[in-house]
Amino acid sequence: MIRISADKCIYSMNSQNPPVTEVEPGATVVFETKDCFSNQLHAETDLLASLDWATINPATGPLRVRGARPGQVLAVRIEDIKVALQGTMIAGPGIGAVGKHMTHAQTKIVPVEGGEAVFGVSDSGDSGLRLPLRPMIGVIGTAPAPEAGDIPDGTPGVHGGNMDCKLIGAGTTLYLPVFVEGANLAMGDLHAVMADGEVVVCGVEVAGEVTVKVELVDPAPGRSTGPVLETDDAFYCIASGPSLDEAAAQALDDTLAFLRARLTLPANELGMLMSLVCDVQICQVVDPLKTARVRIPKTAFGRHRLEF
């Protein structure tokens, strides 16, 4: 099995990044990943001010998938996510969506043990809250189109990137558009736990490794949109924009296109059904672009069970 070490990483996604290795479609690959701070914060005395910002949000890769062509879709089946035994969080004045309430710059070490993140503070003064792990991938994307230029890993977009969608975890499949030959997949920014919104601008940031299987899909004309996540019971169209309103509007446009390519219903009927069964949800509200997703239940359309 191919393993890509965490030192083989990029800090922005663009069409010119050379691949670090290549595989055939159907291959299983392990991406070893640093945390979003490039593992620079080791202790609670290491504050954000000490960071080398040039190495924020490393994404391991890119991986070239032989034969991938622009216009195709790369299906990334996420088979497993392992996280390290220690995660990190930060908070501070002006940082994130609740930054105006934060009193000082703080780094918090969050041990990971027994399938839980040990938050370490509680009202009752005991050893603290323990939260069940929900490992997820914050940054995952293909190389963007040449005309999109250089997109920092911290920014999400139609290529994926820093979507910070808490549902991108083991057992799901992420469908990403292919813009360059080979697709050039990269990923990083694992979170051991994170809630929708990511309100202080981080989850439990953690190093780790992700096992994925990569396959190529030829979408029928009109079927290709931005990133789509498949879980056991639903698809999610994920989109980003300058505001949450714009992100949600794009995710809804993508959802309508997704449904029109698979169902023969008139647009009005589809719109009404979307209004009944497709939940508009928030991925994150703190990155340079905000990210929303629309949930499309697989079995909500009568005899049609939706497939990608």
Interface with Ca ion: number of residues (CB under 5 A): 5
**Residue whose pair of structure tokens reads 């309430």 in the numeric block:** 101
Instruction: Give the shortest CB-60-to-Ca ion separation in angstroms.
Output: 14
Of the ranges 28-36, 140-148, 223-231, 256-264, which one interacts with Ca ion (CB under 5 A)? 28-36
Instruction: Give the shortest CB-203-to-Ca ion separation in angstroms.
Output: 6
Q: Is 170 left (phi over 0), alpha (psi -120 to 50) or beta?
A: beta
Instruction: Give the shortest CB-5-to-Ca ion separation in angstroms.
Output: 20
3-state class (DSSP) for residue 193: coil
Euclidean distance between CA atoms 58 and 201, whole angstroms: 16
Q: Is 209 in the site for Ca ion (CB under 5 A)?
A: no
Asked if residues 178 and 70 have their Cβ atoms less than 8 Å apart, the reply is: yes
With CB atoms as reference, the residue minimizing the distance to Ca ion is 138
Footprint of Ca ion on 176-195 (CB under 5 A): 189
Q: Is 197 in the site for Ca ion (CB under 5 A)?
A: no
Distances (CA, A) of 123 to 102, 120, 126, 240: 18, 10, 8, 37
Interface characters, 228-267, with Ca ion (x: CB under 5 A): ----------------------------------------
The pair of three-digit structure tokens given for residue 227, joined into one six-digit string: 């990133």
Instruction: Give the shortest CB-189-to-Ca ion separation in angstroms.
Output: 4
Instruction: Measure CA 21 to chain center.
Output: 22
Task: Return residues touching Ca ion (CB under 5 A).
Answer: 36, 138, 162, 164, 189
